[in-house]
Amino acid sequence: MRDRRDLTGTGFETRAVHGGGGPDPTTGAVNTPVYLSSTFAQDAVGVDRGYEYARSGNPSRASLEAHLALLEGAEFGFAFASGMAAEDAIMRLLDPGDHLVMPTDSYGGTYRLATQVHRRAGLAVDTAHLSTLREVLKPETRMVWVETPTNPLLDIVDIAAVAELAHGQGAIVVVDNTFATPWIQRPLDLGADIVVHSTTKYLGGHSDVIGGFAATNDPDCAQRLAFLQNAAGAVPGPLDCFLVQRGVMTLPIRMERHCANALAVVDLLRRHEAVKHVLHPSLADHPRHDVARRQMRAFGGMVSFTLHGGEQAALDVCTRTHIFTLAESLGGVESLIEHPGRMTHASAAGSSNEVPADLVRLSVGIEAVDDLVEDLERALDTVV
């Protein structure tokens, strides 16, 4: 077992580098090794050295879980095989007949999971713009799901205000912090009960691993999540844990660059005649810019926009960039461009969560900013 350094009072960057624990006491390895073992020898029947079977626990996973929990300011953390697996475990905390409120603008897969999997298992699900949350809360509401910034419309939800309202009703608040990361905002500090991530995105940061994570300070939620993690078994392998952990160590410097490059891209989009509307919380005319300023350290690397030329122009722009790669996902070092209506959010078509057809979403990477601006400008010039 690796020693845990005392990182009390250290800065976020220090915790990002050292949060996985100190050097391995046996070998001095400075990084947590990839423990490729499915089972662990016991010294006597029922006497183990902290691990018995790798679905229940593995040192590579334990190190990642402690690391990410530290960054989110959580006492308990659980790694999963994907963001969806983490979300599924959280929704399983609810019982048939319980009511879940979700945002009208959330990741399409989250909406699909709630409405096509958990609703079938007896959960009552409503979508609402969370600014009107008060109107949809019921006595049986047990969970309010928050995504902020939202995917793909980049709206901002006031976490503290939602938490106050939901708690008054006896509901817990879950925040998907995938877009912001704990470098930008810490939902548990703002009153949320559970924070969830697709670690596939900024935490992993290199588009080479699928993973999920959930954290909480509530011992009861933690105990049930631990049970579900082991009982349902949607756990990440040790190599996946290593890859996420390696990414996390550079999270702060990557996020600084993502955010700075995104501001330059926003500036270009605001000036370009092909662009109808730019969606980014940095903009003073964003409806919840003030909330963003209050709860976020920076405005994030995701940028969305609509085009005067409608859906066809959006589809054309997506195929005419050279540095921005046409692909789903986000949060990696490379810039990506996509059409949410036909790609990431296709499963929400025809529902209250359907996204505009002329919408393009960018995950702004950490390349040279001038190259990104030029690439996008050239593609936009073709649809004027």
Ligand X SMILES: Cc1ncc(COP(=O)(O)O)c(C=O)c1O
Task: Return residues touching ligand X (CB under 6 A).
Answer: 82-84, 107, 109-110, 147, 151, 176, 178-179, 198, 200, 210, 212
Catalytic residue among 4, 5, 55, 297: 55
* Three-state helix/strand/coil letters over 82-129: CHHHHHHHHHCCCCCCCEEEEECCCCHHHHHHHHHHHCCCCCEEEEEC
* Closer to ligand X by Cβ: residue 54 or 210: 210
Q: How far apart are CA 219 and CA 201, in angstroms?
A: 27
Closest separation in Å from C-beta 200 to ligand X: 4
**Which 8-state DSSP code applies to residue 19?**
T
**DSSP character for 344?**
T
Instruction: Kindly report the backbone phi and psi dihedral angles of residue 197, in degrees, each rounded to the nearest multiple of 5, phi listed first.
Output: -135, 145
Per annotation, catalytic residue among 15, 142, 186, 201 = 201
338 pairs with which residues across the strands?
361
How far, in Å, CA of 122 to CA of 96, rounded?
Answer: 4
Residue among 166, 165, 158, 155 nearest 187 (CA): 158
Q: How far is the CB of 295 from ligand X (least distance, A)?
A: 17
What DSSP character marks residue 283? Answer: S
Q: Of 181, 114, 174, which is closest to residue 348 (Cα–Cα)?
A: 114
CB within 8 Å of 341: residues ≥ 6 apart: 311, 314, 349, 354, 355, 356, 357, 359
Structure tokens at 166: 């939901």
Catalytic site residue from 51, 107, 111, 202: 107
**Cα radius of gyration rounded to whole Å, the chain:** 21
Q: How far is the CB of 52 from ligand X (least distance, A)?
A: 28
Cα–Cα distance measured from residue 79 to residue 13, given in angstroms and rounded to the nearest whole number: 21
CB of 114 to ligand X, least distance (A): 12
Max distance between CA atoms of the chain, in angstroms, equals: 74
Q: Is 201 a catalytic residue?
A: yes
Closest CA to 217 of 244, 179, 184, 187: 187
Tallying the residues shown for the chain, one arrives at: 384
CB of 153 to ligand X, least distance (A): 12
Query: Interior CA angle at 128 toward 92 and 215, to 5°?
Result: 40
In whole angstroms, how close is the CB of 366 to ligand X at the nearest point?
19
Residue found under tokens 């998907």:
176
Pick the closer one to ligand X by CB: 178 or 216: 178
Q: Which member of 98, 155, 158, 176 is catalytic?
A: 176
Residue 264 in tokens: 């330059």
Phi-psi region of 228 (alpha: psi -120 to 50; beta: other; left: phi over 0): alpha
Q: Is 138 part of the annotated catalytic residue set?
A: no
Least separation in angstroms between residue 150's CB and ligand X is 8
Query: Does residue 176 carry a catalytic annotation?
Result: yes
Q: Which is nearer to ligand X, 141 or 200 (CB)?
A: 200
The residues that are catalytic are 55, 107, 176, 201
